[in-house]
Amino acid sequence: MQRCAGDVLLEVRGREAADFSDPAVCAQWVARTDADVVINAVAYTAVDKAEGDEAAATVINAVTPGAIAVAAAARGLPLIQISTDYVFDGAGDAPFGVDHPTAPLGAYGRSKLAGEVAVRDAGGLHAIFRTSWVVSPDGANFVKTMLRLGAERARLAIVADQIGGPTCADDIAKACFAAGAHLLADPSKSGTYHLSGGPDVSWADFAREIFKQAGMGCEVADIPTSAYPTPAQRPLNSRLDNSQTEAVFGLARPDWRLGLADILKTLGVRPL
């Protein structure tokens, strides 16, 4: 499928043409594409399910991206790879820098970290963007869940001791296009970067802002992570230092509150 985004021609491949459970098929597509830049936004993101299905998560998040990276490197095509804050252990309360030691807490984080390593090892031009708490008008995500639950209940208990930067998918897309153009012009910019929305916030306060902008009266009660156990351990600290992204690509940290307003508008939710 092809469509235009401004002056950029996109060649978008869905699962029917690029099944990420089959690394060879995806690599073959990269070997044949007329694209100038390859962007991989595909991931196995079922964090809890990955705990019992790490092999499948690793194929989709690491083996296939590695095969794509090798194919892209062979053709001199820059690769933009989306990674995650889950490669860190969530310790402390300072934003993680791009060079901070990685120490994933679970299967999902391990699979994404393996994907980073595979992309780097391919030896081609790349920009790995670690991001966090991704939301958009599409698919299942925190914003849509809060809108649904907030319409059904007068009060919700939301985790308040996990802190991070909600990131709108539209801001990630813009960063990917910008990074691709920069890599084509200046290969020295190849490397790992962080891209997360600001300001940093708890899930509970994120929910409060969703309800505020949506004009919903749902009350939010703060609870600790320990009160909401999940199969996969979540990092308490998902703060990411975006300074390298701004310095190299000129991309200021996006304000997720503005992005949230756009999401609500797209969903037809009345903003305040």
pLDDT (0 to 100) of residue 61: 97
The structure tokens 């936004």 sit at 41
pLDDT (0 to 100) of residue 12: 60
Residue 206: CB atoms within 10 Å: 26
Percent of the chain with pLDDT over 70: 93
Q: Report cis status (omega within 30 of 0) of the bond before 199.
A: yes
**Residue 269 in this model has a pLDDT that exceeds 70:** yes
In terms of DSSP bridges, do strands 163-164 and 201-202 run parallel, antiparallel, or are they unpaired? antiparallel
Please give the mean pLDDT across all residues of the chain.
93
Give per-residue pLDDT as tens, 222-237.
Answer: 999 999 999 999 999 9
For residues 170 and 41, give the distance between their C-alpha atoms in angstroms, rounded to a whole number: 12
**Residue 76 in this model has a pLDDT that exceeds 50:** yes
pLDDT (0 to 100) of residue 14: 61
Mean pLDDT of 25-41: 93
Which of 44, 86, 108, 193 does the annotation list as catalytic? 108
Give per-residue pLDDT as tens, 179-238.
Answer: 999 999 999 999 999 999 999 999 999 999 999 999 999 999 999 999 999 999 999 999
At 21, the pLDDT band (50, 70, 90 cuts) reads confident
Write down all domains in the chain, each with its CATH number in brackets. 2-266 (3.40.50.720)
Q: What's the pTM?
A: 0.92
User: What is the signed CA dihedral for 110, 115, 117, 123, rounded to 10 degrees?
Assistant: 180
The H-or-E segment that residue 216 falls in is none
Mark whether 44 is an active-site residue.
no
pLDDT (0 to 100) of residue 270: 73
Give per-residue pLDDT as tens, 87-122.
Answer: 999 999 999 999 999 999 999 999 999 999 999 999
pLDDT (0 to 100) of residue 4: 41
